[in-house]
Structure 1
């Protein structure tokens, strides 16, 4: 199965592609958009536009741009914008976020749950930097180790994660200052994983007679086993609101 299709199905019941509750998303957006005073926001790896659509619905002065490689997800974002009546205030681009070149700067740049597309936290921040207007804020979500990982967890995630203190220190050393942050609770982490595996398994059972149904069920089962039998005690997720230090 195409990985974009897998992701769309798995996020059917949890549109925010990160372990965050609706209240956490609302609060983080409020901080990143400076209480609604921001005028331009960019999402690098926007998917179906869940962050941008919520932002546009809450802030009538806001204009938004989303970038993603999944053309079908962008079409769903356009449809969502039409339903909400915000289509005139959003621009969606089918392009690799690493190659996106905007003609304007943004008051806020988002990349939550998509840092893997850039190769980790610091490459993501390097991609965010040229898009930010002076004084602008970056909203970036990244995984971290909340306990010393065992071999099984390291085999799943590799050596790219650090503990929370080191993760924040990496951003500081790269010239960013945290002005807010949220560490996902275990409830948020579990809800995300149950939603991801459950939505995919539910879809698979509805398509059991098709080859894709069997493949989706296998992928859901493998992911669930990696989570429950591997990284659940160790993996955490932090969403940082960052401002350039200099």
Structure 2
């Protein structure tokens, strides 16, 4: 069984595919989406759940998603049709780092997919190239809540702490407008769903069951106590002087 299919099965019971609950996702989208018709792009869309939910609450909006995983894109197509938004969703199967578009987007998302660009700031650089003036970005990435073990770094990557992560964004010209720190319940629910969904669908497949077991052990023994997840709504202050901090006459998001 290939990696993409394993990921699709593992996210069957947690379609948002990131450690956030429904209320957090709704709040982030509500603050980021324009009130009228909008164009949206999800870089690393997976099963498309962020876009599907956004299209449901913005009937005039249109969206595009980019991902390499065909099982996830197939799921997104089926769900878009089932929810009646298929005519407003375009999906691209390609490397997100090579994606280009003829027109910029009002909202660019990259939640849990920054690794495809080589990290958080490179992902935001790609989002900036695709973002319309005055647009918003929703980005989600990990950070260390406390000093990680070498094993945790090897498993997940070399993140920074929360303050250093936010400082890096603001130094790069991004203005945080809203944020969500995943709770312990959200983080644990995501991991239990990931490992449990995969195990439940592979009870008679020892090799796949071993993947679930290895992931669960890595989480419980490696990074559970030190890993956090931050999701932010951002404005691009580097090219939007009217939105700079301290401007009391700046338009509200």
TM range (shorter): over 0.9
TM-score (normalised: structure 2): 0.91
For 2:170, the equivalent position in structure 1 comes to 172
Instruction: List aligned pairs for 1:230-245, cutoff 5 A.
Output: 230-245=222-237
Bigger fraction of residues in helix: 1
Q: Which moved more, 1:228-237 or 1:73-82?
A: 73-82
Q: How many residues are matched? A: 238
TM-score (normalised: structure 1): 0.94
SS of the residue 1:107 aligns to: strand
For 1:129, the equivalent position in structure 2 comes to 128
For 1:223, the equivalent position in structure 2 comes to 215
For 2:206, the equivalent position in structure 1 comes to 214
For 2:249, the equivalent position in structure 1 comes to none
Instruction: List aligned pairs for 1:144-163, cutoff 5 A.
Output: 144-158=143-157, 160-163=158-161
Uncovered stretches (5+) of structure 1, i.e. residues with no partner: none
SS of the residue 2:201 aligns to: helix
**Match status 1:19 vs 2:19:** yes
Q: 1: CA distance between counterparts of 2:152 and 2:66?
A: 31
SS of the residue 1:103 aligns to: coil
Q: Give the superposition deviation at 1:22.
A: 0.6
Q: 1: CA distance between counterparts of 2:44 and 2:151?
A: 28
Shift >2 Å, 4+ stretches: none
Q: 2: CA distance between counterparts of 1:61 and 1:174?
A: 32
Uncovered stretches (5+) of structure 2, i.e. residues with no partner: 239-253
Q: Give the superposition deviation at 1:130.
A: 0.9
